[in-house]
Homo-oligomer: A and B are copies of this chain.
Amino acid sequence: MVLGKVVGTVWATRKDEELVGMKFQIVKHVGLDYKLKDTFVVAVDTVQAGVGDVVLVTSGSSARQTTVTRNKPVDAVIVAVVDKLDVVD
């Protein structure tokens, strides 16, 4: 999984019918210090993550292993809201 921070939402009326009702969050990648990187991914939200939340994003076929995304054309999903990191660097 990768670590990111929700910074916004994508609005899309015209989309694959399998995606209707899903929330597409914009997740910027962050470092272990929560500092934003320049890269981002658009991920379906399954844990009610809001803007500002630090989250874990699962990608690829594993992104379809949730109740919301099963068999859907989705390749990134927010699977957890991070409380904190314990890092011994």
Is the Cβ of A75 less than 8 Å from the Cβ of B60? Answer: yes
Residues of A within 8 A of B (CB-CB), count: 60
Contacts of A11 in B (CB 8 A): 82-86
Residues on the B chain within 8 Å of A89, using CB: 7-8, 28, 36
Residues 1-22 of A, flagged 1 when their CB comes within 8 A of B and 0 if not, give: 1110001111111111011000
> Hey, which bits of chain A sit against chain B, CB under 8 A?
1-3, 7-16, 18-19, 24, 26, 28, 31-32, 36, 38, 40-43, 46-48, 51-52, 56, 58-66, 69, 71-77, 79-89
List of 4 A-B pairs having minimum Cβ-Cβ separation, nearest first? A15-B80, A8-B87, A12-B80, A62-B75
